[in-house]
Amino acid sequence: MTTYKDAGVDIDLANKSLDSAKKHIKSTFNKNTISDLGAFGGCYLFPKDEYSDPVLISSTDGVGTKLKIAFLTNRHDTIGQCLVNHCVNDILVLGAKPLFFLDYFAAGKLNSATFNDVIAGMSKACKENKCVLIAGETAEMPGFYNGEDYDLSGTVVGVANKQDMLSNRKIKKGDILIGLHSTGLHTNGYSLARKVLLNNYSIDDIINDFDKTLGEILLSIHKSYLHSILPILDMPWLHGLSHITGGGIIENTTRILPPGQQIKIDWKSWETPPIFDIIENLGSVPKDDMRRSFNMGIGMILVVDKTNINDAISSLKKSKENYTVIGEIV
Q: What is the dihedral of CA 212, 215, 216, 217, to 10 degrees?
A: 80
Is residue 155 domain-shared with residue 21, that is, in the same domain? yes
Q: What is the pLDDT of residues 1-59, one digit of tens each?
A: 999 998 899 999 999 999 999 999 999 999 999 999 889 999 999 999 999 999 999 99
Quick check: is 4 in a domain? no
Quick check: is 289 in a domain? yes
Is residue 162 domain-shared with residue 274, that is, in the same domain? no
Is residue 236 domain-shared with residue 274, that is, in the same domain? yes
For residue 209, pLDDT over 80 is answered with no
Quick check: is 325 in a domain? yes
Quick check: is 271 in a domain? yes
Exposed e or buried b for every residue in 250-266, given b needs 16+ CB within 10 A? Answer: bebbeebbeeeeebebe
Q: Which strands make up the sheet holding 97-107, listed edge to edge? A: 54-62, 150-161, 97-107, 132-140
Q: What is the pLDDT of residues 152-187, one digit of tens each?
A: 999 999 999 999 999 878 999 999 999 999 999 999
Is residue 67 domain-shared with residue 25, that is, in the same domain? yes
Residues sharing a CB contact under 8 Å with residue 261, sequence separation 6 or more, in sequence order: 171, 172, 173, 329, 330
Quote the pLDDT of residue 21: 93
Is residue 136 domain-shared with residue 273, that is, in the same domain? no
Quote the pLDDT of residue 193: 98
Distance (Å, rounded) from C-alpha 44 to C-alpha 228? 26
For residue 191, pLDDT over 90 is answered with yes
3-state secondary structure of 113: helix
Per the structure, the count of domains in the chain is 2
pLDDT band at 208, cuts 50/70/90?
confident
Domain that holds residue 262: 169-329
Is residue 95 domain-shared with residue 192, that is, in the same domain? no
CATH number at residue 113: 3.30.1330.10
- CA distance to 114, 174, 235, 330, per residue, from 238 (Å): 41, 13, 6, 17
Instruction: Identify the domain boundary among 167, 192, 219.
Output: 167
Is residue 125 domain-shared with residue 213, that is, in the same domain? no
For residue 197, pLDDT over 80 is answered with yes
Quick check: is 138 in a domain? yes
Instruction: Identify the domain boundary among 167, 201, 222.
Output: 167
Is residue 92 domain-shared with residue 203, that is, in the same domain? no
Distance (Å, rounded) from C-alpha 238 to C-alpha 126? 26
Distance (Å, rounded) from C-alpha 88 to C-alpha 245? 13
Per-residue pLDDT, averaged over 138-154, amounts to 95
Quote the pLDDT of residue 306: 97
Quick check: is 173 in a domain? yes
Residue closest to 112 by CA, chosen among 39, 19, 9? 19
CATH number at residue 237: 3.90.650.10
Is residue 159 domain-shared with residue 225, that is, in the same domain? no
**Cα of 275 vs its chain's centroid, Å:** 19
Quote the pLDDT of residue 64: 96
- What does DSSP say about strands 132-140 and 97-107: parallel, antiparallel, or unpaired? parallel
User: DSSP state, 106?
Assistant: E
Quick check: is 2 in a domain? no
Is residue 177 domain-shared with residue 323, that is, in the same domain? yes
Residue closest to 138 by CA, chosen among 154, 162, 124? 154
pLDDT band at 207, cuts 50/70/90?
confident
Is residue 302 domain-shared with residue 274, that is, in the same domain? yes
The percentage of residues in the chain with a pLDDT greater than 90, rounded to a whole number, is 95
Q: What is the pLDDT of residues 65-121, one digit of tens each?
A: 999 999 999 999 999 999 999 999 999 999 999 999 999 999 999 999 999 999 999
Q: What is the pLDDT of residues 266-323, one digit of tens each?
A: 999 999 999 999 999 999 999 999 999 999 999 999 999 999 999 999 999 999 999 9
Quick check: is 3 in a domain? no
Q: What is the pLDDT of residues 309-323, one digit of tens each?
A: 999 999 999 999 999
For the question of whether the overall pTM of this predicted structure is more than 0.85, the answer is yes
Residue closest to 138 by CA, chosen among 30, 10, 34? 10
- To which H or E segment does residue 72 belong? helix 66-73
